[in-house]
A and B are shown apart, each in its own frame.
Chain A
């Protein structure tokens, strides 16, 4: 049976006769790696160009159509020492990139307009211009400002209009109003040959606000880029069986419903579908959290993410293979996601408070001055300056600046955010719920009773195990490092047998090794482990194999408990297995054998008591709970669905990123609140000046830029979160 990789789904055709592919590359850190890759690829015949993007860890390669197979690029990169995975740039990604470009263009226009208008305004403020020159300066400013606002203000005007049409109110409404009124007022003042015009304020406001928007958008794109890279690095493929009977290793993206897929023993199943032929035991721990093996027989549904243990299976791919579990999960997800969207972001809450206050203040100023006996025009001018000066310039930067800085600090500690608001939600957490399988434990297994096993037995058992493909046997083989004896014979589904110095050795199930009741009893102290027996002559040794705890799980859980978090385990696994882990981590509250709906029920119960819950989980069965929890985290090894519904993903084998994420989020929230208060303080000083009618354009310009810079500098402090080294 020939097996070759088929990458044709990832190939683009940017021009006639040219093929191109995008790949995610691991291990690119510096200019050296960049040059190595680019030179190494270009040396290949037929390659037209290769360009590395160091920021996103990607390579784009173009070659002459037909000159080479796409697979050879991956091989070449492998030879150069950089494992690579092709991926298809998503259509959705294009929309986000366009949005960023649009904002960046608007920012460029606003910055240009601000510089030039400032040039003119500063001369006007200096005061010794003749009235004619001043008018000319104002007109030139108007000439620059009006088209600039028309272009750069679009993002705000559009969003404000949308909000008003829906009868809602967002931050963009006061912004648009402030900018437009500033322009109208300035043109009117210029027509009347007045000394003061606010063209510079209008444009400066837009510039600072756009800077905030660009940061926000960039953060969103960056998290999405990371997610795309991670998905590519899973590089999930399936062995598709062609009509000719050959099997081709095909990326999941190219597998269609109705295809027939072969899964060999020891391989992870990467598709959902129905078993067509074959019989096997499957490990569903990634899906249901249950560590006991399930059975796969023809007609049964199997799910992506499960591990095929003992026999080869042919699976008919079927997305609609609505297993009861998948149905239930999807149903629960829809409800949970709906509830989640009720969260209101900090900035929006501030806006809801802010906008009405500002408008009422402006109105009160107008009425106040009228009552004080001022004519309506000067009163209106003063009221509008109040609106201009209260425009939420620093407020627009207050939250995104902190988010961007904190997200990159988290990135350095191995936490990738799925959304910016996750930071805000993480900060309010008081209860942490862990899933067990794959979250507290690692997706790989270890021998639990290694200390009690004679090294000689281990070496012999390891040698036998090396002759088998069974995943449990592999664990023993790995632990011993022994090589397979030449005469080992495998009895499918039972074990391995070999002869050593005239003695028969067997490794496998209890019945295969003829273990007596007494010999089996020793295993009772490992209730959460799968057992394998080894028989050498009359001796019988049992190996208890179970999933290893994450190396720092004990310290991190203890540390979190010490910091006052309530900690629980909710698992779909058997109660003995969960209890053992809970005891080891000294977690008092745990529940086992839970279905997805049970996990949600527990979350709701906690929510009703006013707790804010962080859910950490990885399985398909955790996905609804992840979506329903106040905030959620997933390890990088988690199932697709779980990752998609987690607010953040953490890398590596350690649990430390979870603690770091909580600490950084706390800091981020503190800084955000500080920033919001800074903006309030700015208003407390600037608004009385504006109400009293003393706000000149110079005062407005100084106040706005001063507060924006202060807020940005404060956000930068998040980079120096101490004490959470990776």
Chain B
């Protein structure tokens, strides 16, 4: 039964992590725009301009 002494705190600790993450998400407005977030994930605006991404010859 000693294994419980380790497992229980671990399980509850993980749960607390989840709860804190949820509260953080709420405070920072992660749920404000449920439609936009999906599009932002696939937006390419973090890539450098096309001219810079052209393949350069290997030196």
Residues of A within 8 A of B (CB): 30-31, 34-35, 38-39, 52-56, 101, 104-105, 108-109, 112, 115-116, 119, 130, 133, 140, 144
Contacts and interface: CB of A to CB of B under 8 A. Distances in A.
A116 B26 contact: no
B36 interface: yes
Contacts of A55: 32-36
Contacts of A105: 23, 26
Interface centre among B15, B23, B31, B34 (most CB of A within 10 A): B15
Given A31-B42, A55-B36, A101 B26 contact: yes
B12 interface: yes
Interface in B1-35: 1, 4, 8, 11-12, 15-16, 18-19, 22-23, 26, 31-35
A52 B11 CA distance: 38
Nearest to A53: B33
A112 B34 contact: no
Interface of B: 1, 4, 8, 11-12, 15-16, 18-19, 22-23, 26, 31-36, 38-40, 42-43, 45
B45 A39 contact: yes
A38 B15 CA distance: 37
A108 B19 contact: yes
Q: Chain B binding site: helix, strand, loop or mixed by DSSP?
A: helix
B26 A35 contact: no
25 contacts: A30-B39, A31-B36, A31-B38, A31-B42, A35-B45, A52-B33, A53-B32, A53-B36, A54-B35, A54-B36, A55-B36, A101-B26, A104-B26, A105-B23, A105-B26, A108-B22, A108-B23, A108-B26, A109-B19, A112-B15, A112-B16, A112-B18, A115-B15, A115-B18, A140-B12
Contacts of A112: 15-16, 18-19, 22
Nearest to A107: B22
Nearest to A132: B1
Contacts of A130: 1
Nearest to B9: A140
Nearest to B19: A112
A34 B39 CA distance: 8
Given A53-B32, A108-B23, A116 B39 contact: no
A39 to B, nearest CB: 7
Contacts of A116: 11-12, 15
A34 B4 contact: no
A54 B33 contact: yes
A140 B12 CA distance: 10
A34 B36 CA distance: 8
Given A53-B33, A54-B36, A55-B32, 6 more contacts: A35-B43, A52-B33, A52-B36, A54-B39, A55-B35, A101-B26
